């Protein structure tokens, strides 16, 4: 996990390993497909517990909350517009 | 491990609470024809939180009882390799737009967030806890720990970023004319990590695969540049 001094989490490393294995073999692996699509379809459910935590934070954080929220809103909208325009430009050039 | 298991089983009905909240959320979402403003996470979590408040249940207990759900995020991250491997074959031809979008998108996301934090006069502690906001939770937690930020705050900020992303992308894609599902997915993954990816899989498996790609690459890339970038923005 701490290879090369970078914190690449275990699951991400596992995904990269499985991806390498899958791209090396041409055979479709059916049992893997069924399991993985079942898990992926319920991805939102797995975020429920941590998301409920948003309602149970400390007072000091809630005080800074209006600026944090504005920041998240502006920067996320900003970067999505940026990428959309970037892609438009890159793909038109090709 | 045994103790953990006992804790999980003793309060396992709280796991049922998550499932119930999610089911209600999902029902509303489906009825609304997948309107992102009514995403299961937005409908389900307030229901669960108010239930916990009303019945005076401590969040820690609830969170531990739901360990199995959070644990599943690990195997599911690994499982994302399956749809991704199907799209990988066409990747060489798309190398340039994909890599530029990840490199610039990930960087601009961090620079925008940090500049706004300075502009809004946000404390250093909070600044360190929001820097990794566009990265998927497991990686964001690793980066935030390394930076010295608050782990409880980064999980919330990551979550809100994800939700803002899925709510606004529809409008932005329409306005800018991004109709190709592959680019929609890539942008969702870079800007809104796993929540964007969950949304992308609802659009189509191909959209989801590109979202996975954006999320994974951006996670690795951000963990490389963020520590040195953050240093420039501290008071």
CB B183 within 8 A of CB B213: no
B76 within some domain: no
Can you give the residue range of the structural domain that contains B193?
82-233
Do B97 and B198 belong together in one domain? Answer: yes
Contact (CB<8Å) A23/B105: no
Report d(CA B113, CA A71) in Å as an integer. Answer: 6
A48/B44 touch (CB, cutoff 8 Å), yes or no: yes
- The rounded radius of gyration (Å) of the Cα atoms in chain A is 20
Interface of B with A in 188-227 (CB under 8 A): 190-192, 194-195, 197-198, 201, 208, 216, 219-220, 223-224
Q: What is the mean pLDDT of residues A51-70?
A: 83
Residues B86 and B63 in one domain: no
Q: Considering only alpha carbons, which residue of chain B is nearest residue A85? A: B176
Judgement on whether residues B176 and B124 belong to the same structural domain of the protein = yes
Does B109 reside within a domain?
Answer: yes
The C-alpha atoms of residue B180 and residue A14 are separated, in whole angstroms, by: 29
B90-137 per-position pLDDT tens digit? 788 888 899 999 999 999 999 999 999 999 988 888 899 899 988 887
User: Residue A93: what pLDDT?
Assistant: 56
Nearest to B180 by CA among B113, B97, B117: B97
Please report the pLDDT score of residue B173 as a whole number.
Answer: 93
Run of H or E including A58: none
Do B60 and B129 fall within a single domain? no
Residues B139, B162 share a domain: yes
**What pLDDT, on the 0 to 100 scale, is given for residue B36?**
76
Q: Which of B49, B71, B93 is the last residue of a domain?
A: B71
pTM reported for the whole predicted model? 0.80
Q: Which of A14, A56, A68 sits opposite B157 (nearest CB)?
A: A68
Those of residues 119-148 in B touching chain A at CB distance below 8 A are 120-123, 126, 130, 133-134, 137-139, 142-143, 145-146
pLDDT band at B147 (very low <50, low <70, confident <90, very high): confident
For residue B198, what pLDDT is reported?
Answer: 87
Query: Between the CA atoms of B112, A89, B86 and A22, what dihedral angle is there, to the nearest 10 degrees?
Result: -60
- The residues spanned by each domain of chain A are 1-55, 57-94
The count of structural domains within chain B is 2
B148 and B213 in a common domain: yes
Do residues B155 and B141 lie in contact, with contact meaning Cβ atoms separated by under 8 Å?
yes
Contacting residues for B125 by C-beta, under 8 A, at least 6 apart: B149, B150
Is B77 within the bounds of a domain?
no
Together in a domain, B54 and B94: no
In angstroms, the separation between the Cα of residue B235 and the nearest Cα of chain A is 17
Query: Quick one: pLDDT at residue A7?
Result: 56
Residue A1 has pLDDT above 60, yes or no: no
């Amino acid at each position: 996990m701490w290879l090369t001094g970078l914190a690449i989490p275990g699951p991400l490393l596992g995904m990269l390993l499985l991806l390498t294995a899958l791209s090396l073999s041409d055979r479709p692996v059916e049992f893997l497909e069924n399991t993985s699509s079942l898990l992926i379809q319920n991805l939102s459910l797995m975020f429920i517990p941590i998301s409920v935590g948003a309602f149970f934070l400390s007072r000091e954080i809630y005080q800074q909350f209006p600026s944090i929220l504005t920041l998240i809103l502006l920067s996320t909208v900003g970067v999505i517009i940026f990428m959309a325009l970037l892609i438009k430009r890159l793909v038109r050039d090709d | 491990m045994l103790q953990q298991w006992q804790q999980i089983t003793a309060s396992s009905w709280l796991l049922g609470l998550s499932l119930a909240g999610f089911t209600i959320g999902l029902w509303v979402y489906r009825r609304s024809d997948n309107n992102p403003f009514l995403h299961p996470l937005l409908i389900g979590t307030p229901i669960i939180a108010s239930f916990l408040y009303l019945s005076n249940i401590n969040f820690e207990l609830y969170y531990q009882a739901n360990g199995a759900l959070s644990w599943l995020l690990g195997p599911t991250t690994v499982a994302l390799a399956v749809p991704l491997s199907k799209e990988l074959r066409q990747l060489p031809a798309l190398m340039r737009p994909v890599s530029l979008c990840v490199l610039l998108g990930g960087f601009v996301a961090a620079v925008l967030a940090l500049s706004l934090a300075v502009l809004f006069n946000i404390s250093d502690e909070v600044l360190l806890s929001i820097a990794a906001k566009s990265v998927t939770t497991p990686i964001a937690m690793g980066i935030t720990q390394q930076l010295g930020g608050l782990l409880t705050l980064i999980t919330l900020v990551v979550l809100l970023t994800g939700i803002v992303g899925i709510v606004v992308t529809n409008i932005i894609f329409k306005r800018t004319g991004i109709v190709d599902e592959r680019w929609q997915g890539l942008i969702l993954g870079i800007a809104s990590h796993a929540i964007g990816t969950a949304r992308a899989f609802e659009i189509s498996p191909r959209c989801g695969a590109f979202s996975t790609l954006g999320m994974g690459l951006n996670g690795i890339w951000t963990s490389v540049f963020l520590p040195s970038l953050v240093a420039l923005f501290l008071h």
